[in-house]
Amino acid sequence: MAEKILIIGACGQIGSELTYKLRSIHGNDNVIASDINYSNLDVVNSGIFEIVDAQDYGSILLCVEKHRIDTIYLMAAMLSATGEKYPMKAWDLNMSSLFHVLNLAKAKFISKIFWPSSIAVYGPTTPKDHTPQHTIMEPSTVYGITKQVGERWCEYYFDKYDVDVRSMRYPGIISWKTMPGGGTTDYAVEIYHKAITDGHYESFLSEETELPMMFMDDAIDATIQIMNAPAEQLSIRSSYNLAAISFTPKDIAEEIQKHIQDFKITYKPDFRQDIADTWPRSIDDSVAQKDWNWTPKFDLTKMTDEMLTELGKKYA
């Protein structure tokens, strides 16, 4: 029997691309996309789609039983910037959805889980450069707290209940198909759109704010790689550090100017600057490299080429 996959949060930035990629690998009928609403019609119309409320155990269970789901990718979450505006909503969504999926696996309704963590697990007391896999973690955002606590629960469910849950700490993810929503790293997507449509971007982070980032194709490859890795190769059952590129708003603007000479950037840091200032500049992902052969394919130059080419077509 083919593996049946459910993606919760399939209308979002990463969930949508994961849906397309998993369907190309497993076939349309074996990958069920779901979300709380029909907010992304490209996803809704691309195959089987179900309305699932990630905060409602019964809603997820109904879908799992209807489609005989084996594996869940839980991509629904409230990100760092929105989480600071709605702390209790962020806590409720991010934690209850994780518990529901972990408990479905504990009760043997499903056999495997992917749950993304984030560089937001780190905080102001964490070493900022080449942040190691195991280090000080005192996150100061609600989102970061939910991800750190979530990691502890993932490891707990693996140790105590043998739940096969796999996770990685995504950096900021850059893509052209679906916009991100509510994150601190979102500027690195918006800047490409504005470069093409307006020739100008006002950055909400200061010019020297360096953060770990990754092109979507690498993030999707990493996700599929960790899910395909033999269980005995995975030494981390909380969440793996993952890295590709680190850059500042100034670096990305200079790269764009190689394609669009008169592109201008100005800087007006807002509350998201305070969040970014607590996160690492770069990440040491040597454990992921060793355990499941992780290596990224996109650097800033290659990513900028692809972003501007694809968005150029979109806005033509």
30 or 223: whose CB is closer to ligand AKB? 223
User: In 3D, which of 287, 283, 295 has the Cα closest to residue 234?
Assistant: 287
Task: Name the closest residue to ligand AKB (Cβ).
Answer: 183
The CB-of-117 to ligand AKB minimum distance in angstroms stands at 8
SS3 206: coil
Nearer to ligand AKB, 119 or 168 (CB): 119
211: closest CA among 195, 187, 179? 187
- Residues contacting residue 158 through CB under 8 Å, at least 6 positions apart: 164, 165, 237
Shortest Cβ distance from residue 119 to ligand AKB (Å)?
5
Structure tokens at 240: 């793996």
Closest separation in Å from C-beta 170 to ligand AKB:
6
Annotated catalytic residue: which of 38, 73, 122, 143? 143
Q: Which CB, 15 or 183, lies closer to ligand AKB? A: 183
Instruction: Please answer whether residues 246 and 296 qualify as being in contact, where contact means their C-beta atoms are separated by less than 8 angstroms.
Output: no
Is 134 within 8 Å of 94 (Cβ atoms)? no
- Nearest-angstrom CA–CA distance, 259 and 2: 45
Tell me how far, at minimum, the Cβ of 243 lies from ligand AKB, in Å: 12
Active-site residue 143, yes or no?
yes
Residue number, 64 or 189, with CB nearest to ligand AKB: 189
d(CA 163, CA 206): 42
Give residues in contact with ligand AKB (CB under 6 A).
Answer: 79-80, 118-120, 143, 170, 172, 183-185
For the annotated catalytic residues, the residue numbers are 143
